[in-house]
Amino acid sequence: MTTELRARLRTLPSFPRELPEFAPDAAPTTPQELFLAWLDEAVATGVLAPHAATLATVDETGPSARVLVLKDVDADGWAIATPADSRPGQAMTASGRAALTFFWPALGRQVRVEGEVRRADAADAAADFRDRPAEARATALVGRPTPTLADDAEYAAARAEALARVEADPSLVPETWALWWVAPGTVEFWQASHDRAHTRLRYRADADVWVRERLWP
Ligand SMILES: Cc1cc2nc3c(=O)[nH]c(=O)nc-3n(C[C@H](O)[C@H](O)[C@H](O)COP(=O)(O)O)c2cc1C
């Protein structure tokens, strides 16, 4: 069984026949510019959830990872939102560090952002929260009296109560809602190639400039 599974896993499709060219020597001077160009191409190619990234954090119990959506990119870095009292929120507060990984299989591309985390100020977090649809705001407002859920009825009651609060006060923002900026020390761009001679380009922050370095495939 294991042998069969191993053989099957080796034959699963990864990338389309045509993959884009990536000329690292012609890459822009900042990783933000290249990231936004690649994000545009992912959108144009029809990649679903192209703004979804895996956020990796570490706390005293070890590493953990989950998918989140990108909120913004600017000269300071990459912004994400997750509650301050969630596992990643607490881990980022304690360690001050995180990694984000984007994967766009239709283009054979991966981007890895690693660096220091800064929590955005309350006004920025509130603006992000108020931009969410009412249902998403209600989901975030649902109180979690216990770490695990007893049954659907328990959740339905808590959610109905949260939805009523959101409808009564559309400006409501939970204190724990938080926006975080990952200010990268490194950003790596990976372009797959069918001959497995993949292309990797890393931007490394060095004082005020971005150093561009090729990495072995
Ligand atoms: C596509 C996708 C987008 C998500 N976006 C977010 C997000 O922006 N913020 C967030 O806190 N959780 C988001 N989640 C849920 C997280 O992956 C995770 O389930 C949740 O944050 C709880 O993780 P934790 O137990 O590590 O706190 C998203 C999940 C998926 C699959």
What pLDDT, in 10s, does the model give residues 116-160? Answer: 999 999 999 999 999 999 999 999 888 787 889 999 999 999 999
Residue positions counted in the chain: 217
Distances (CA, A) of 105 to 22, 65, 112, 195: 15, 19, 14, 16
> For residue 1, what pLDDT band results from cuts at 50, 70 and 90?
low
What's the gap between Cα 180 and its chain centre? Answer: 11
Please identify, by atom number, the ligand 1 atom nearest to the C-alpha of residue 80.
Answer: 8
User: pTM (2 decimals)?
Assistant: 0.94
Encode pLDDT of 174-184 as tens digits.
Answer: 999 999 999 99
77 pLDDT exceeds 90?
yes
Q: What angle do CA 169, 170, 175 make, to 5 degrees?
A: 80
Q: What is d(CA 147, CA 87) in angstroms, rounded to the nearest whole number? A: 11
Q: How far is the C-alpha of 8 from the C-alpha of 147, rounded, in Å?
A: 38
User: Which residue segments constitute the domains of the chain, with CATH numbers given?
Assistant: 22-120+178-217 (2.30.110.10), 132-174 (no CATH)
DSSP codes of every residue in 127-185: HHHHTS-HHHHHHHH---SSSS---HHHHHHHHHHHHHHHHH-TT---TT--EEEEEEE
Q: Which of the residue ranges 17-21, 95-99, 147-151 would you say has the lowest mean pLDDT?
A: 147-151
Question: Residues near ligand 1 with C-beta < 6 Å?
Answer: 49, 52, 64, 66-69, 81-82, 86-88
Considering only CA atoms, which residue is closest to atom 11 of ligand 1? 82
Tokens at 180, concatenated: 């975080």
Residue 55 Cα to ligand 1 midpoint, Å, equals: 9
Amino acid at 212: R
Residue 55 CA: nearest ligand 1 atom is 17
Tokens coding 186: 């490194």
Residue 12 Cα, ligand 1 centroid: separation in angstroms?
27
Look up residue 7 and give its two tokens: 């053989």
Ligand 1, atom 30, residue with closest C-alpha: 67
Rounded distance from Cα 121 to ligand 1 centre (Å): 21
Residues 6 or more apart whose Cβ sits within 8 Å of residue 182: 77, 78, 79, 80, 98, 99, 100, 113, 114, 115, 116, 117
